[in-house]
Structure 1
Amino acid sequence: MTYGDAGIVERITPWALGTVVFLLSTASATGSVGVESTLPAPLLAAVAAASGIAAACARRSLWPLAAMGALAFAWLVMWPAAVAASYYAGTHLRRRDLWLYVGGAIAVFALSGLISHRSGGYRALVVGTPANAILMGGAMLGLPLVAGLWVRARRQVFDAMREQAQQLQREQILRAEQARSQERTRIAREMHDVVAHRVSLMVLHAGALEVSAPDERTAEAAALISDVGREALTNLREVLGVLRSQDSVRGPQPTLADLDRLLDQTRALGIVVNRHDEGAARTLSPIVERTAYRVVQEALTNVHKHAPNAETDVFVRYRPVELEVIVCNELSTGAGGDLPGSGWGLVGLRERVELVGGRLEAGPRDQDGFQVVARIPAA
């Protein structure tokens, strides 16, 4: 059953109960399932209707139904409202109110028995004798009351089980969060010990080489290595901060506005890079621009590794509904680079692009060289 179906049932049930109480009260007053009354039919119908309405509203307030059941039973031996009131008393009333209800119900049954005994006839036979009065009291007071108490106890057990399950789930989530936090901290510590220390040494040696360089070209290369190393350290600290705390605030992330600086760094390493912008440039969402920047960065890193002397073209094409980024390079005229790599650069890049709904293609060009093509939704 869906939540919508449960809501419909929840709304219909009170009025269905009220209808049943009305019909049974009418049948009781006519003698079909009770003691026939000699009062006018409109009056009997009014009492039955009032009992049905009180039963339909019993979830909001029990006492109107209890009062209507007491009046109808003592006056007309009309029992349906009294049965419904006893059931609701078992499901809703606390201990003190429940004892008050039981005491009042016993008094009503005693009063009805006394009235029935003096009335004579069939009513005196059914309700006027002590044995029958006790039997009817047990059937119309005891059984519904016990059923209501059982339903309430069952609900309390289920509520306690549900609360316990939710508590266990919360504790499990908390333990998982703590385990993830500890693992992030461990990874951050290891990355700092293994990577940050060596990059710092590289920056220090580059700075020393810049100072003692025998010529200007070597000093410029050392300065570039030092700058790139410091930027790597900054990015590494940001990553370590995210690993240490899930709520860490990261610093400004690169966008297409930083692309020229990235290309200048590549040119300073001796690679010819040409940028080509096509279409009307416009401001895109930060995640789109950041993804495009990372595509170019990873593609240029691969050029450094595998084709350090190849001329490279970077195309940034603004399409109506997407941003297309192409990085293509010619065949290297010299020996390939000997830089180490994890082998997962393009795999991770493809996952990054697909996470924003884009597509990434990487492979050899038709003529020669290699190209990386990324199409990122930008509408």
Structure 2
Amino acid sequence: MIDRIAPWVLGAAVFLLSMASTAGSVGVRSSLPMPVLATVAACCGVAAGLARRRWWPLVVTGAVAYAWLVMWPAAVAASYYAGTRLHRGRDLWLYVGGAVALHALGGIVSAHAQGYRALVAGTLGNVLLMGSAMLGLPLVAGLWVRARRQVLDGMREQAGHLLREQVLRADQARDQERARIAREMHDVVAHRVSLMVLHAGALEVNAPDVRTAEAAALIGGVGREALTNLREVLGVLRAPDPVRGPQPTLADLDRLLDQSRALGIVVNRHDEGEARPLPPTAERTAYRVVQEALTNVHKHAGNAETDVHLRYRPAELEVLIRNRPHAGADGDLPGSGWGLVGLRERVELLGGRLEAGPWHGGGFQVLAGIPAA
């Protein structure tokens, strides 16, 4: 907004000062008719307003107005713009030479005039003084402004370069850290899961009864699926611009529940409300909530019977996983303690809520409200 108004403020100031100059307030009074003086002053003001786009009309009007009427405001503005526009060298020296010649011409014209004009603008001392004030000082001010702009532009460019370099270094550090994590996971987790799958396969082949063989086959299948998921995660960590593979949704929930049932846990699914398609992120989050809750049941509640509730509310999907107390639960399987923390962060990122803890029936429950509107 200011950039649009400023040129015309300058034009209005040049017009008013030009009129004041011809009236004798800040210059030499002219005997020409007022319409002629107003027209010349208006031309100077318009040229000053357009100087940001084209500044040569301001130079021409300023030269004519000064040589003819000793009207100085347009000449001052032209010298300032010359300092901000012209490169140091040939163009700048040509302007300086032309401006000095024109100012000298104005002094000669004023010297041959009669009365007050000859005294003010025709003597050698006043010509030199006015030339320094109207040409030298504005030109120096324009050169200073131009140099300052160049310095600021250079500083901005350098700051941008440093910022880009910092971002590049951060990206490199992140890629290196991801590669290190991928190596650690491959060396430790993938190796151990592979051994688990191999032992499950050996147990399946040498099982003394059908039930043991089925359990071993289930363990091997779960382990192979875990290896597949682990390879996908490692691929995401290694890729500089990762593209994620297909993510589980609520359509895969029954398969997840069947895996827990195959391990001897009674899992009951209850759907309440009218099922409807939900945003992919909401479905993935709901799946992860059920997965983590069932994992905790396996770790800490033995084969306790578990209920999984999916409640379709108007604005959210409520997921409730509740296991009943079981006397044989030993709770001796190791856990990191970060599963529910990460799950809560995942749910809260969607604007939802997650509560986990004992319930009055003696078991444990996980309740998540996931926005689904």
TM-score with structure 1 setting the length: 0.96
2:327 is matched with which residue: 326, 330, 333? 333
State the partner residue of 1:158: 152
Please give the alpha-carbon distance, in whole angstroms, between the structure 2 residues aligned to 1:372 and 1:246.
36
Which residue identity is paired with 1:50?
A: C
Please give the alpha-carbon distance, in whole angstroms, between the structure 2 residues aligned to 1:246 and 1:356.
26
State the partner residue of 1:355: 349
1:139 is matched with which residue: 133, 140, 146? 133
How much does 1:195 deviate? 0.6
State the partner residue of 1:198: 192
Please give the alpha-carbon distance, in whole angstroms, between the structure 2 residues aligned to 1:338 and 1:247.
40
Check if 1:73 corresponds to 2:34. no
State the partner residue of 2:336: 342
Greater mean deviation of Cα atoms: 232-241 or 26-35 = 232-241
| Pairs aligned (count) | 372
How much does 1:135 deviate? 1.6
State the partner residue of 1:3: none
Moved over 3 A (4+): none
State the partner residue of 1:322: 316
Which residue identity is paired with 1:23?
A: L
State the partner residue of 2:35: 42
Structure 1 segment 130-279 matched on structure 2, within 5 A: 130-279=124-273
Which residue identity is paired with 2:68?
A: W
How much does 1:128 deviate? 1.4
Please give the alpha-carbon distance, in whole angstroms, between the structure 2 residues aligned to 1:316 and 1:142.
82
Please give the alpha-carbon distance, in whole angstroms, between the structure 2 residues aligned to 1:112 and 1:344.
87
Check if 1:289 corresponds to 2:255. no
Check if 1:88 corresponds to 2:81. yes
Q: Are the counterparts in 2 of residues 203 and 230 from structure 1 also a CA contact under 8 Å?
A: yes
Please give the alpha-carbon distance, in whole angstroms, between the structure 2 residues aligned to 1:236 and 1:248.
14
Q: Are the counterparts in 1 of residues 76 and 135 from structure 2 also a CA contact under 8 Å?
A: yes
State the partner residue of 2:93: 99
Please give the alpha-carbon distance, in whole angstroms, between the structure 1 residues aligned to 2:295 and 2:303.
13
1:11 is matched with which residue: 4, 20, 28? 4
Counterpart of 2:112 in 1: which secondary structure?
helix
For the structure 1 residues 10 and 106, does the alpha-carbon distance in structure 2 shift closer, same or farther, using more than 3 Å as the test?
same
Greater mean deviation of Cα atoms: 105-114 or 72-81 = 105-114
Q: Are the counterparts in 2 of residues 309 and 333 from structure 1 also a CA contact under 8 Å?
A: no
Please give the alpha-carbon distance, in whole angstroms, between the structure 2 residues aligned to 1:171 and 1:93.
34
Check if 1:51 corresponds to 2:25. no
1:232-252 Cα distance to aligned partner (Å, 9 max, x none): 111111111222224111211
How much does 1:99 deviate? 2.2
Q: Are the counterparts in 1 of residues 304 and 329 from structure 2 also a CA contact under 8 Å?
A: no
Q: Are the counterparts in 1 of residues 110 and 122 from structure 2 also a CA contact under 8 Å?
A: yes
Counterpart of 1:341 in 2: which secondary structure?
coil
State the partner residue of 2:366: 372
How much does 1:337 deviate? 4.1
Please give the alpha-carbon distance, in whole angstroms, between the structure 2 residues aligned to 1:230 and 1:345.
22
Alignment root-mean-square deviation, CA: 1.0
Greater mean deviation of Cα atoms: 79-88 or 128-137 = 128-137
Please give the alpha-carbon distance, in whole angstroms, between the structure 2 residues aligned to 1:45 and 1:250.
73
How much does 1:345 deviate? 1.1
How much does 1:120 deviate? 2.5
State the partner residue of 1:5: none
Please give the alpha-carbon distance, in whole angstroms, between the structure 2 residues aligned to 1:343 and 1:232.
20
How much does 1:166 deviate? 1.2
Please give the alpha-carbon distance, in whole angstroms, between the structure 2 residues aligned to 1:313 and 1:246.
41
Which residue identity is paired with 1:39?
A: L
Please give the alpha-carbon distance, in whole angstroms, between the structure 2 residues aligned to 1:249 and 1:49.
65
Please give the alpha-carbon distance, in whole angstroms, between the structure 2 residues aligned to 1:217 and 1:253.
32
TM-score with structure 2 setting the length: 0.98
State the partner residue of 1:24: 17
Please give the alpha-carbon distance, in whole angstroms, between the structure 2 residues aligned to 1:250 and 1:42.
77
Please give the alpha-carbon distance, in whole angstroms, between the structure 1 residues aligned to 2:330 and 2:292.
17
How much does 1:156 deviate? 0.5
Please give the alpha-carbon distance, in whole angstroms, between the structure 2 residues aligned to 1:211 and 1:337.
30
Which residue identity is paired with 1:90?
A: G
Q: Are the counterparts in 1 of residues 11 and 47 from structure 2 also a CA contact under 8 Å?
A: yes
Please give the alpha-carbon distance, in whole angstroms, between the structure 1 residues aligned to 2:371 and 2:24.
77
Please give the alpha-carbon distance, in whole angstroms, between the structure 1 residues aligned to 2:275 and 2:140.
77
How much does 1:336 deviate? 2.0
Please give the alpha-carbon distance, in whole angstroms, between the structure 1 residues aligned to 2:266 and 2:361.
19
Which residue identity is paired with 1:72?
A: A
Which residue identity is paired with 2:95?
A: Y
Which residue identity is paired with 2:53?
A: R
Counterpart of 2:213 in 1: which secondary structure?
helix
Please give the alpha-carbon distance, in whole angstroms, between the structure 1 residues aligned to 2:240 and 2:297.
34
